Chain A
Amino acid sequence: MTVRTMPAQPSRAAGPAGPETELWRGMLWVTWRQHRGVLISVPAAFIVAVTVMLAAGLKIRHDYATLTACHPATSPGCLQLSNGFHTDWHLGNAIRVALLAAPVLLAMFAGPPVVARELENRTFRYAWTQGIGRVRWTVAKLTYLGSAMTIAALIISQLFTWLFVPFLTTEDLTVLSPAVFETRGVVYAAWTLTAFCLGAFLGALIRRVLPAMAASLGAFLFLVALTWLYLRDHYPVRTYWPMQAVEAGWLLAGCALLVAGTLWLVRRHAA
């Protein structure tokens, strides 16, 4: 792994933007080299998830349309359809569980290795003395990995919202029900980003990958439990989009704090 140190004369290849941009572009390559595992599996999972949700969503909405078009609703034929729709619910619910599990897995597998792996293997002595410097190195990694995950999560949650609409009627759920609310809007992307930032912070704090993974798992689950059982009841608003805004707001504020904490820990670490 190398990031080019600054040449004595700015090279011609630096371009009009200057050698600064070249460093950030170099960090793209570094992030790719160091985190190929995450950067391959997350897009792969994304593609699989999109395909599955498109196929399942079309089926579910088709079955639901057939169900609602069936008259009279209490006839044996229509009741049969209603029972058949139960299989669609199992499918939709399984997808929902997978969606809710994704941030947990990211907190465990994607977050801690960013900083903790360098610290555990002592390769930080090499990585942090490259031309870009340790703080910008960390900022670049967190930004590139974090934005990839957040954008993927945003797309997935919109697709899932489209898929899940029929069940809001058939399963007596509302958009504010726990485990429904966080799969929609902007909140899902915010939770995904928070999971990643929490993992990275705990990795920088604990400095060993495996304990950091366990701690991230525990901390993230604790945060989810706290939100479900306590925080959501104390929001100053009660309707859907304001609540989404409030939750995304404090989650992103939390992310900013966690990232600041990570950078501070990286900065003060003795080389």
Chain B
Amino acid sequence: MSVLALPAQPVQGAAPALRPVPWQRMIWVTWRQHRGMLTSVTAVLAAVSLFLLIAGLKVHHDYTALVNCRTACGAMNQSFNNIDWTMGNTILILMNLAPALLGIFTGPAVLARELETGTFRYAWTQGIGRLRWTIAKLVLLAAVITVLAWAFSQLFAWFFDPFLGFEGMNVLAKTVFDTRGVDFAAWTLVAFAIGAFLGMLIRRIIPAMAATLGVYLALDLLAWLVLRQDYPVAIDTTNASLFSGPNTPDSPWILKTWTVGNTDWWRYIPVSRFWPMQFIEASWLLILAVALGAATVWLVRRRAA
């Protein structure tokens, strides 16, 4: 790995001040150092995407047949439940774990590997300097991983759509909400940022991976149990008719109910508020990721080389 060192005499036509190493050089450096990680993540996501595509076509076909069924639908229903839904539910659970796994395999290695093996003494004394080196790497890797995660979540959302109707789940349910829109990509970005930060803090890869997993799970629980209740999208109402009837994909999500005097109140979020919720969550996750990135860069700065 090398970044061009500056020549002793400035190049013909260079400004009197020494010209700094251009940012574009870091694209090549990042690729060289992380090609293993980038190719494996892409390969795994591509393989799973292929599976989701094939399985998704089957699921969509079976669901259309089920919806259009007029007579003797019991057996078809049973088969869809046992085969398609079992597969769909398992993949849903794995999808909820995916941001954490992507984060722990990509985040810590970026910086902790340099520190663990001592190669930071070489990497950080190149012409580009340690701060720009770190910023360029973090931004490039975060961008690639986030885009891959976003594309993957769109495919999964398409795959899972039939099950929303079959199980009467709506898109605000935690396990579903996290896997579509911009939320999946945002959580993956935050997992990467937590990983990179803890990698720089702990300076050993495997402890950093374990710590990233723990911190990510804690944050996930916090968002699910506490923060989502308080997003400014909920509506208070006394209209009970909204909540009668079976669970459909359009049913609202009831946060809590309470009684004042003789009237019952409900606090709920209608399905129409899906995108505002997504953007609120993606925004604070993005801010958190940027803050963690800044903290990582600050740690890089103050570490004695």
Contacts and interface: CB of A to CB of B under 8 A. Distances in A.
Contacts of A217: 101
A109 B210 contact: yes
B26 interface: no
| Chain B interface, >50% SS class | helix
A177 to B, nearest CB: 13
A225 B207 CA distance: 28
Contacts of B119: none
B109 A210 contact: yes
A109 B209 contact: yes
A41 interface: yes
Contacts of B36: 211
B241 to A, nearest CB: 23
Given A210-B105, A210-B109, A41 B205 contact: no
Interface string B13-34: 0000000000000000000000
B66 interface: no
Contact of A210 (B205, B207, B210): B205
A209 B117 CA distance: 14
Contacts of A214: 40, 44, 105
A37 B105 contact: no
DSSP majority for the A interface? helix
B206 interface: yes
Nearest to A117: B206
A260 to B, nearest CB: 26
A209 B37 CA distance: 13
Interface string B98-109: 000100010001
Contacts of A209: 205-206
Contact of B40 (A37, A121, A211): A211
B195 to A, nearest CB: 12
A214 B44 CA distance: 10
A37 B205 contact: no
Contacts of B206: 37, 109, 113, 209
A41 B210 contact: yes
Contact of A37 (B44, B109, B207): B207
Interface in A200-227: 209-211, 213-214, 217, 225
Nearest to B116: A121
Interface in B178-207: 205-207
Nearest to A121: B117
Interface in B93-131: 101, 105, 109, 117
A211 B44 CA distance: 12
A92 to B, nearest CB: 17
Contacts of A105: 213
Interface string A32-73: 000001000100000000000000000000000000000000
Contacts of A109: 206, 209-210
Interface in B1-57: 36-37, 40, 44
Nearest to A208: B36
Contacts of B37: 210
Nearest to A37: B207
Interface string A64-91: 0000000000000000000000000000
Contacts of B44: 214
A15 to B, nearest CB: 36
Interface in A117-131: 121
A213 B109 CA distance: 13
A113 B210 CA distance: 13
A214 B206 CA distance: 12
Contacts of B209: 109, 213
A41 B101 CA distance: 20
By CB atoms of chain B within 10 A, which of A41, A109, A121, A225 has the most? A109
A178 to B, nearest CB: 10
A44 B299 CA distance: 29
A118 B44 CA distance: 27
B98 to A, nearest CB: 12
Interface in A87-123: 105, 109, 113, 121
Contacts of B90: 225
A105 B90 CA distance: 18
A217 B105 CA distance: 11
Interface of B: 36-37, 40, 44, 90, 101, 105, 109, 117, 205-207, 209-210, 213
Given A37-B210, A211-B40, 8 more contacts: A37-B206, A105-B213, A109-B209, A109-B210, A210-B105, A210-B205, A214-B40, A225-B90
State the 5 A-B residue pairs at the shortest beta-carbon distance, nearest first: A109-B210, A214-B105, A37-B207, A210-B109, A113-B206
13 contacts: A41-B210, A105-B213, A109-B206, A109-B210, A113-B206, A210-B109, A211-B36, A211-B40, A213-B105, A213-B209, A214-B44, A217-B101, A225-B90
Interface of A: 37, 41, 105, 109, 113, 121, 209-211, 213-214, 217, 225
